[in-house]
Chains A and B, each alone.
Chain A
Amino acid sequence: MTTTTDAPPPMPATSAGGAHVRALPRRVAGAVGAQNTSLIGALIVVVGTFTWLDDGYLTRANMTVIGDTVAVTGLLAVVQTVVIVCGALDISVGSQAGVASVVSAMAFTSTDGNAALGILAAIGVGIAAGVVNGIVIVYGRVNPVIATLATLAAYKGVAQLLAGGRAQGYVLGDDFFIFVARGKILGLSVQIWTLAVVAVAVHVLLKYTDIGRNIYAIGGNDTAARLAGININKYLVSVYALAGVVAAIAGVILTARTGSGQPTSGSEGLELKAITAAALGGCALKGGKGGVGGTLLAVFLLGALENGLNVVGVNSFWQNVAQGALLVVAVVIQQRRNGERAVGLPT
């Protein structure tokens, strides 16, 4: 055998003025991005399939159900996107939401029904939980996965201790919580609006501010970011604090939905959904790449899928299997695209 290849050696010279007129579909795809195009495609396939399987799927009532289930997951996924763009991970977001849920209800009750104080207390706890994560990681030098795995357990314990192991407080006598749980603005639920507002705010933060640029820089190459004079430690702790704040907002929504502070119910397992959505939405788990748009599309895709499986009556145990499989598949696809060699542990 020979090693000769008859391919001509010269490289195709990259032309400096690459302003070719492209066909419209390609231009749209270019603007949306390949990742998002395939997510939209998948969303259409999923919705189409379940509509075909069950008439009740594509109805206004069911879409509202999907919207509300997606709201809490979406919040956590959006903020997870920021953490992942930094090159880190926050597994503890679900537990943080649980603590916030309990604290909001308890603060509400103990202040004789002051909803604002309840929410402030929840957000304060969220910030504290996030800052602890950040400090353990940055100054304790603990790997983010390990650190937040530990606080996942610890914060869950804190929530259970505070609540004495059961649901706490009753908030549905309050107009504000009722509004959060059932209110609508322009035909969309308040929960979806909350997601929309947070998502837009985070999107603007990431894409249009210097803070966002620096977050991408830290995730893309932390040495370069440090040498460029970015205070990486401050950013990392702040990003975890932001995760705590958004998790607290999710916790308040959970409280409003069920009418009481829930230490674990409704928040357990959300970290998996949030990370899956971010990975599926195109966030590089190594950091430096990803955005809110892709994550949101993935959140809706996951929500539509989960709801559809419920509607057609697939056992929820199978749904767990599917969810785990989906995360693996999302990352495998990502690594394939990066052209990573299959040798030893992944980088």
Chain B
Amino acid sequence: MTKNPSPDLPGPALAVEDIHKNFAGVHALRGITLDFPRGTVTALMGENGAGKSTLIKIINGDHRPGRGRVLVAGTPRVLHSPADARRHGIRVIPQEPEIVPHVSVAENVYIGALPRKPGRLLDRAGLYRRMRSDLERLGFAHAIAPETLGSRLSPAQRQLVEILRALTTEAAVLAFDEPTSSLSEHEVETLFGLIRRLRDRGLAVVYVSHRMREIFRLADRIAVLRDGELAGVRDAARTDEGEVVRLMVGRDLSALFARNRSARDRVVLEVRDVTTDDVSHVHLDVREGEVVALAGLVGAGRSELAAALVGDVPIRSGEVRVDGRPLRLRTPRDAVRAGIGYAPEERKAQALFLTGSVRYNIGVAVLDRLRRFRFVGARRERLLAQEFVDRLDIRTPSLDHEVRKLSGGNQQKVVLARRLARRPEILILDEPTRGIDIGAKAEIYRLIDELAAAGVAILVISSELPEVLGLADRVVVMQNGRITGELDRADADEEAVLALAMAFDLAEPTQGNPT
């Protein structure tokens, strides 16, 4: 790696050299060497599972690298904890800001270092004075009031609190991990204005995002990770979206998506005018053997719709029909009985029994079929589990292996196996390939195609556009809890989907006027 040490500035603000990291069998990072110069916004791009989050966690001191080193201002440092990283001037703004709800913004910002009067009394006046002068200095006097309670803040203001925390502790490196996922377009513009200002003050900014357009609006350099390796670093001014996508995917995308199916006419799942607390008037059909992708930004209401369709949140009005028969969905049990299989978004938190064996995790969904007089047949359970381990190619040392020790891709296959064991007529898959490597992704895509070819009606929720476009026979786009449009496979492209996903924001053009 080439360094250009100057007398004033010993190397870049932050650099990583030959970083490796393993997690239980997954080689998450394989020798990343990258620097983050001062006064520069470096965007970190890559598909889910490419290693972006792992790299950020290493920079933040959450993880220690298995090999390689982190250099802060040219000096190698061991970062034991996030607190350690902060002491060295590195600050990662988390995706979900940590806010104490019942105290003021000022206390939230200076938490851990509140100004005191003698006798450990809180210097409340001093606190607000300091907050005001800091806001003034940073140009945010109008964005946030120091007295506001944490619980009253908007998503963008919550981010601002995290940023202020960083700035009041002399940060030299500021990393953002998908900061815009919960922000409106207007708030995004505010945030970008702020980030540009911070860059101009000489901070090194690391910016992780999936959103191509944001990256080109903001970044000076683009570093692309793929399968734990650095696929390339480009000057933002001298590259384009096409090249970045090629770097991210590294291969011909269409090869990943098998298509041996043909949708039939019979409608299996009918969603009619369904309204819940989070979605309104949703109309949706899925046919036998059809894969429908539900696209949209995070928070558009897609997962909430899925939760309603599987009976986990109450439907206020409207109707869900399976094979033309209206369904009473009061609990997930009703959905399971109606032949709806559901793989939720957070597989570890919502689907897996992590300390249970592979066999247990697969068998648990079909105990009613495995049992005789309430006694579960161990042999029948083994046979069933083995059948799915073979069919889905789940790589596990044995059927009795604990699921938490498997890789993400194999864990996801266990979840799918459990659903398939019930021979569902309808499958609802929420982010089925999140955080798994590209090989396992391809296998899951093939499985989805196979199941559709066998007649299963499949609804896939995905935030990855290439996945949406590659998988779907039809793309349905949601925004703010409503369906904003439907695209046939032939008409669906990245532009069209994004336009529908951000329909309201585009109605009011906010393009390219840097504040």
Where the two chains meet, the residues of A that have a C-beta atom closer than 8 Å to any C-beta of B are 1-7, 9-11, 13-16, 18, 208-211, 213-214, 216-217, 220-221, 223-224, 226-231, 284, 288-289
Where the two chains meet, the residues of B that have a C-beta atom closer than 8 Å to any C-beta of A are 20, 22, 24-25, 27, 30, 64-70, 76-78, 310, 312, 331-333, 335-337, 342, 344, 349-356, 360, 363-365, 367-368, 370-371, 374-376, 395, 397-398, 418
B76 and A1 within 8 A (CB) = yes
CA distance A226 to B77 in the complex (A): 46
A228 and B350 within 8 A (CB) = no
**Given A14-B397, A217-B364: A5 in contact with B371 (beta carbons within 8 A):** no
A231 and B354 within 8 A (CB) = no
A226 and B332 within 8 A (CB) = yes
CB distance from A4 to the nearest CB of B (A): 6
CB distance from B117 to the nearest CB of A (A): 28
CA distance A6 to B66 in the complex (A): 9
B367 and A3 within 8 A (CB) = no
A15 and B69 within 8 A (CB) = no
CA distance A155 to B426 in the complex (A): 49
A229 and B332 within 8 A (CB) = yes
Instruction: Determine the chain B residues whose CB is within 8 A of the CB of A231 once the complex forms.
Output: 331, 333
Instruction: Determine the chain A residues whose CB is within 8 A of the CB of B337 once the complex forms.
Output: 229
CA distance A15 to B396 in the complex (A): 9
**From B64, which residue of chain A is reached at the shortest CB distance?**
A3
Which DSSP category, helix, strand, loop or mixed, fits chain A's interface? loop
**From A12, which residue of chain B is reached at the shortest CB distance?**
B25
Complex partner residue of A213 from B69, B78, B331, B367, CB under 8 angstroms: B367
Instruction: Determine the chain A residues whose CB is within 8 A of the CB of B78 once the complex forms.
Output: 1, 3
CB distance from A236 to the nearest CB of B (A): 14
**From A286, which residue of chain B is reached at the shortest CB distance?**
B355
- Nearest 9 pairs between A and B by C-beta? A229-B336, A210-B367, A229-B333, A220-B353, A3-B69, A209-B374, A14-B397, A223-B350, A9-B20
B353 and A15 within 8 A (CB) = no
User: Which of B68, B350, B367 counts the most A-chain CB atoms under 10 A from its CB?
Assistant: B367
Question: Given A14-B25, A221-B354, list of 4 further CB < 8 A pairs?
Answer: A209-B375, A210-B376, A213-B360, A230-B333
**Given A3-B77, A4-B67: A220 in contact with B398 (beta carbons within 8 A):** no
CA distance A284 to B336 in the complex (A): 29
A18 and B398 within 8 A (CB) = yes
A220 and B355 within 8 A (CB) = yes
CA distance A312 to B401 in the complex (A): 46
CA distance A106 to B351 in the complex (A): 49
A208 and B375 within 8 A (CB) = yes
**Given A5-B66, A228-B364: A209 in contact with B397 (beta carbons within 8 A):** no
A210 and B356 within 8 A (CB) = no
A228 and B20 within 8 A (CB) = no
CB distance from A61 to the nearest CB of B (A): 41
